A and B are shown apart, each in its own frame.
Chain A
Amino acid sequence: MKLDAKIPEGPLAEKWSKHKFNLKLVNPANKRKYTVIVVGTGLAGSSAAASLAELGYNVKAFCYQDSPRRAHSIAAQGGINAAKNYRNDGDSVYRLFYDTIKGGDYRAREANVYRLAEVSVNIIDQCVAQGVPFAREYGGLLDNRSFGGAQVSRTFYARGQTGQQLLLGAYSALNRQIHEGKVEMFSRHEMLDVVVVDGQAKGVVVRDMVTGEIETHAGHAVLLCTGGYGNVFYLSTNAMGCNVTAAWRAHKRGAYFGNPCFTQIHPTCIPVTGDHQSKLTLMSESLRNDGRVWVPKTKEIAAQIREGKVKASDIKEDDRDYFLERKYPSFGNLVPRDVASRNAKEMVDEGRGVGSSGVAVYLDFADAIKRLGEDAVRAKYGNLFDMYYQITDENPYKEPMRIYPAVHYTMGGLWVDYNLQTTVPGLYALGEANFSDHGANRLGASALMQGLADGYFVIPYTLGDYLATIGPKAVDEKHPAFAETKKAVEDRIQQLLSLKGNKTVDEYHRELGKIMWEYCGMARSEEGLKKAKKMIQDLKADFWKNAIVLGKNEEFNQSLEKAGRVADFIELGELMIDDALDRTESCGGHFRIESQTEEGEAKRDDEKYAYVAAWEYKGEGKPEALHKEELKFENVKLTQRSYK
């Protein structure tokens, strides 16, 4: 199958308008004859479900949480970008587009990114109208801040919980449609497979997580808004329940997986304290505006710190290495996420890491406190300092914070065309679940923007085109594909429940995470990746022999839920390794040791790798097939990033 991204013709700025006009419309009277299935209720899912129901479609929405409001979009802290130019500082749709393409290290589609920038302005209007309490200035108008090293102030925010406020906005729109009877909501339901009838997605198989009942639901189209797969690393800033199962099942039913190895590692997270650690906590990137990153100059001093013989504040200025300021004099501590992360890892690898584990670097506010006063620092970062204190029991006003990078976001995901449709007709992927807009690296405050853009302003148009094409004829739930898919799900559950070995599912997950973090994390090499591939294959074989899965299907069974998810993560892990092996260049969050400049910086190879890697599942035990979607850059000039 040849990949067709369906990018509209014409000048960049007119593509979306023209495309919207060319899309077919569904007759208003016919809309109520269609049913759309939406899986996941984060920003993308809630906004899509609500918007489609408003148009008149019947929607069935599913989430694994106990309420749609708890989807992990809720955890986003920083803000949401929009090219409003309220600050009169030179922002524009084109600038947001350009920054996003460049930030993504030229591995995203121009047309998609431009559309994203274009609709960003509508998102803010929509959210305000719903009653989202964005931060305001004394004049009563919306406040903006600059974020993630952007040169303009285009980030809208709601204190430290922009994600929650936006999600509550989308959730309220969803609630309104549930109230109207247009959306039927299924909480505590986990999607376990897609039903494909004659090559088209026509339904899903879900498990009621309370009763264990396996249900099939039919619809004219299926929207996967199921988020990212960062939990493949076991430790990440994702919620415990975030998983790849829905996307992975779809992949196995024919949806190609795009750029699976593109993961974003966030530099300012609270370091791991021990094997018991279940998740990592992110602290806002804004900390790097005033904090200085350093490690001791020598291994000997670092060793003394690790043993608790000396305190960080006792280390003399001459014995400190402010490595980001030293290596990147013009950007200093504000280098992009991937650069900051990689350098921290380098320091730790050199044996200069700090903290009892030695896997951390310092983020020091002593200078800021001296310059601005403790009160000013408290006013700016008080809540983050408190959070740090709660978790570590250390006072960051007195001793420097310890930070270390952690997996945060996955730019990869199901491959979709311009209409957000996967390679399976009728199956769509929105938000973090798709691969489309962030290239190899996502800019701060852009994830919320993309989720809402897809749900509010893209899918209501593009889905109509497909639905108009297939017609409103009811989906035949009697079709054998439904029973077959259900059977396959049940068999797999039985297979999992038959595992009565001696290792817990968590142990496998931790092991998988360690492999992925070590070999497919911040720096990747051919040798390491090959080794990891073998390790994962062994792990998979071992899992299906020696894992312990308790209980039965017909009950609330968290043991079973976890097992199914980890089994899918193991398979995904292998695909990520394959993808990382294929891409021998370094770009964005993907750093191949073999591809660096003389100064040790990431070196892109636009000649060979200006493509999206879309992987096709070929069957159990068979290598996946790579399809390449060439990326054409007609509007921006490709440049090598430099922060020196």
Chain B
Amino acid sequence: MLTKTFKNDTLMSSLKDTFTSSLGKKLIMALTGLFLCTFLVVHLIGNLQLFKNDGGKAFNDYAYFMTHFTPIKIVSYLLYTSIIVHALYALLLTTANKKARKVSYGAYNGAANSPWTSRNMGILGTVLLVFIVVHMSNFWYEYHWGKVPFVEYRTDLSTGQTTQTELAAADFKDYVKYTDNGVEITRAKDLYATTAFAFQTWWLVALYVLGMAALSFHLIHGFSSAFQTLGWDHKKYVPLIKTIGIWGFGVLIPLAFAAMPLYFFFCK
């Protein structure tokens, strides 16, 4: 018989109890981490429009959709929160972990028993956080409040040919789309041009590539680690998760993202 009982009067106190425990904090790390992983997939699919040779029309359409469609907007706030919570809890846990070994070893050979990535999630995460801040100020901030040029696309619906012209200033709000005389006219913020311009700067490209390297190492450990924390240890599925974590999230996604600045730097 256990004398200590776990009767919690309210849902709130029960949740507090859960999320102040070391396992609860880890659960938050895992859940926010995995949510960020799903975001990466969506983000990547959208950004692939950058490679479309249409003067950025598809990309700019996508940028408008992502910032103005209400459900997506809600998700995006969830996303920002996740990033903050993930980083905050990482800080909390790391502080607690440091306290768990106040005197460090004179000799410590971590390489003998664990992969480098797993021991340096904090450093990798910090690099990523810096990257995210830079990235958001480059594009997200600029798109919302900065000076992004405007562009007009005219597509002849009968031939499918599109022409584009820079617009000096907007006499519309963010985005308009209408058909006039068999020509589809789209006017939008030209985030594509901003992107193309930004990635002409070599050090920014380098920073992005570095950021993606950090993402790669972070996810090689992080993705499968999240499943481990959630308690997913089934013999049949664990190898699959490991494969997805390493090749999908650790290699493919960061490579595809890194290809974007490199594409603009070298090919445009």
Least CB distance, A287 to chain B, in whole angstroms: 33
> Which residues of chain B are near A316, meaning CB under 8 Å?
none
> Scoring B residues 186 to 208 as 1 if CB is less than 8 Å from chain A, else 0, what string do you get?
00000000000000000000000
> Which residues of chain A are near B2, meaning CB under 8 Å?
179
> Which residues of chain A are near B1, meaning CB under 8 Å?
180
> Which residues of chain A are near B3, meaning CB under 8 Å?
179-180
**Nearest A residue (CB) for B2:** A179
> Which residues of chain B are near A179, meaning CB under 8 Å?
2-3
How many chain B residues touch the partner (CB < 8 A)? 3
The docked-state distance in angstroms from the alpha carbon of A180 to that of B4 is: 10
The docked-state distance in angstroms from the alpha carbon of A1 to that of B249 is: 83
Least CB distance, A453 to chain B, in whole angstroms: 26
**Nearest B residue (CB) for A176:** B1
**Nearest B residue (CB) for A181:** B3
Least CB distance, B79 to chain A, in whole angstroms: 45
> Scoring A residues 176 to 201 as 1 if CB is less than 8 Å from chain B, else 0, what string do you get?
00011000000000000000000000
**Nearest A residue (CB) for B4:** A179
Least CB distance, A252 to chain B, in whole angstroms: 42
> Scoring B residues 1 to 21 as 1 if CB is less than 8 Å from chain A, else 0, what string do you get?
111000000000000000000
**Nearest B residue (CB) for A180:** B3
**Residues of chain B in range 3-51 having any CB-CB distance to chain A below 8 Å:** 3
> Which residues of chain B are near A180, meaning CB under 8 Å?
1, 3
The docked-state distance in angstroms from the alpha carbon of A331 to that of B1 is: 51
The docked-state distance in angstroms from the alpha carbon of A179 to that of B2 is: 8
**Residues of chain A in range 146-193 having any CB-CB distance to chain B below 8 Å:** 179-180
The docked-state distance in angstroms from the alpha carbon of A213 to that of B113 is: 41
**Residues of chain B in range 46-79 having any CB-CB distance to chain A below 8 Å:** none
Least CB distance, A432 to chain B, in whole angstroms: 32
**Residues of chain B in range 143-167 having any CB-CB distance to chain A below 8 Å:** none
Least CB distance, A176 to chain B, in whole angstroms: 8
Least CB distance, A629 to chain B, in whole angstroms: 44
Least CB distance, A130 to chain B, in whole angstroms: 15
**Residues of chain A in range 178-237 having any CB-CB distance to chain B below 8 Å:** 179-180
**Nearest B residue (CB) for A179:** B3
The docked-state distance in angstroms from the alpha carbon of A179 to that of B3 is: 8
The docked-state distance in angstroms from the alpha carbon of A180 to that of B2 is: 8
Least CB distance, A53 to chain B, in whole angstroms: 13
Least CB distance, A359 to chain B, in whole angstroms: 38
Least CB distance, B19 to chain A, in whole angstroms: 26
The docked-state distance in angstroms from the alpha carbon of A75 to that of B194 is: 72
Least CB distance, A204 to chain B, in whole angstroms: 29
The docked-state distance in angstroms from the alpha carbon of A179 to that of B1 is: 10
The docked-state distance in angstroms from the alpha carbon of A72 to that of B1 is: 29
Least CB distance, A180 to chain B, in whole angstroms: 7
Least CB distance, B198 to chain A, in whole angstroms: 61
Least CB distance, A175 to chain B, in whole angstroms: 12
**Residues of chain A in range 298-322 having any CB-CB distance to chain B below 8 Å:** none
The docked-state distance in angstroms from the alpha carbon of A180 to that of B3 is: 8
The docked-state distance in angstroms from the alpha carbon of A289 to that of B3 is: 50
Q: What are the 4 tightest A-B residue pairs by CB atom distance, in nearest-first order?
A: A180-B3, A179-B3, A179-B2, A180-B1
4 contacts between A and B (CB under 8 A): A179-B2, A179-B3, A180-B1, A180-B3
